[in-house]
Every structure is written in C-alpha cells, then in structure tokens.
Amino acid sequence: MKILALDSTAKVASVALCEDEHLLGELTLNNGNTHSQTILPMIEFLLNKFELTPSDIDLFAAAVGPGSFTGVRIGAATLKGLAFGKNVPCAGVSTLEALAYNLCDYDGLICPVMNARRQQVYTALFRAQNGVLERLMPDSAIAITELDERLSAFEEPVRLCGDGYDITLPLLTHSVIPTSERYRHQSAYSVAQVAKRMHSSGELCTDITLSPIYLRLSQAERERAERLGVDTGI
C-alpha cells in the first residue's frame, strides 16, 4: 500500500512517501511557516522521483491538528485537493499521536507537547511498548502546570517531543528523559505509520469528511469573544 503523508501543523513541514512501513522518501524543511509555498513542491518532487502521480496513491494521510491554525488548514486543504475525486481513503491523523510515534521504539511514557501560547500546550500522553503506542490521555489544550500535575500520577520518567519542548521542560517538576532534537519535530513518516494503523482499525475518512482538529478557538475568535464578554474557558 502506497501512502502519501504530510504534516504542516507547526514550523516544520514534512512530506513522506511510504510502501506500508517502508520509507521510500521523506522531505523535511524547518524554515518557518511558509507551508503554502513549499508543501506542494515537496509533494511533487517526491512523486516525480518515483515516477508516480496522486492517482497511484492508495492512502492519503495528513496531520490535521492540533497545531498552528494556518498550518492545520493548509495540510487539510492540500490533502483534500490531492484526494479529490479519486475514491481513495484518507486518514486525518492526530499531530500529537504522530509526534509520539517518533519515540515509539523507546519503551515508557511519551508526552508530545506543542506550544499553544499563554503557557499552555497541546498535549497528550502515551505509553510505548515493543513499538506500539497505547493512548493514556486524549488530545488536550492545557496549562503546563496542569500537565505537570497529571504526570505526577505516574511514578516513572517521561520523554517529551514537539515544538513545546523548550518551554515545557523548565516548568516541569516531573522527571524527564532528554530527547534529541531530531525526534522532537514533526515527521511525515510517523504520520504515515499512524495512518497505516488507522487503516487497519477502520478509522479512515474521505476527502469530503476529513476535517481539522483545533481544540481551541483561534486568536481572532478569542479576542472577539473577549470583546463580547463571552467566557471561552481559556
């Protein structure tokens, strides 16, 4: 099964082409939020190198959030465009689960953290064992102090990953095993492998039903709610 996967939910943009679990090619750029300019050329480059077209893909996958609102929309829209009219299944992958997959070869607790501003993070919690992830906490947008409290329920160290690594680490009292920078960033290969699991468990969608996951209001929506005196809970 040929899988085309992408992740544009943070500053890193990543595209991967896989044959099941085998990586054929992956491109990753860490040059800021320029995904509207770079993601399609990256896809075209990979497909051309293997003399493929979108019609040759068996499963389209994208990280659909949480993350940067613009980046999430770009990824979802790009996937919808690639899959449109092809009657090929799609996978809307949790950005946090894909980040956790980066570390799935290390047994133990894995906590992806993405910067959600205001000393908050998008986060979840997983346990990895023998290369398999078990979800322990749903995707959430919470304060770093609350995350520290939740981690205190576990009497074992945790590995962090994601673009919230540097802001989260100093505020945690819980024991943390350092993670090299290589495994902190988004990887479209990890998106592809989570999508492969979703394919096996029947969690797929279509290009029409695929939708972003935001977890919280955008800044513009929050500011509007504040002007109207509406309590958003954030």
Give the domain extent around 168.
Answer: 96-183
- Structural domain count of the chain: 2
CA–CA dist 24, 14 (Å, integer)? 14
User: Look-up: residue for tokens 């002007």?
Assistant: 227
Question: pTM, whole model, 2 decimals?
Answer: 0.92
Question: Of 137, 157, 183, which residue is a domain's last?
Answer: 183
Asked whether residue 231 is assigned to any structural domain, the reply reads: no
Q: Judge if 82 and 37 occupy the same domain.
A: yes
pLDDT at 234 over 80: no
CATH number reported for the structural domain that contains residue 178 in this entry: 3.30.420.40
Q: Judge if 47 and 153 occupy the same domain.
A: no
Each residue's pLDDT tens digit, 168-221: 999 999 999 999 999 999 999 999 999 999 999 999 999 999 999 998 744 444
Q: Judge if 112 and 12 occupy the same domain.
A: no
Q: Judge if 84 and 144 occupy the same domain.
A: no
Check residue 67 and give its pLDDT: 96
95, containing H or E segment: helix 95-101
pLDDT band for 231, please (50, 70, 90 cuts).
very low
Check residue 160 and give its pLDDT: 98
Q: Judge if 128 and 197 occupy the same domain.
A: no
Q: How many other CB atoms are there within 10 angstroms of residue 214's CB atom?
A: 17
Asked whether residue 68 is assigned to any structural domain, the reply reads: yes
Q: Which of 210, 233, 66 lies closest to 140 in space, CA to CA?
A: 66
Q: Judge if 177 and 214 occupy the same domain.
A: no
Cross-strand bridge partners of residue 7:
14
Q: Judge if 33 and 77 occupy the same domain.
A: yes
Q: Judge if 204 and 131 occupy the same domain.
A: no
Q: Judge if 89 and 199 occupy the same domain.
A: yes
Each residue's pLDDT tens digit, 133-178: 999 999 999 999 999 999 999 999 999 999 999 999 999 999 999 9
Check residue 229 and give its pLDDT: 54
Cross-strand bridge partners of residue 19:
2, 22
Each residue's pLDDT tens digit, 82-124: 999 999 999 999 999 999 999 999 999 999 999 999 899 999 9
CA–CA dist 116, 216 (Å, integer)? 9
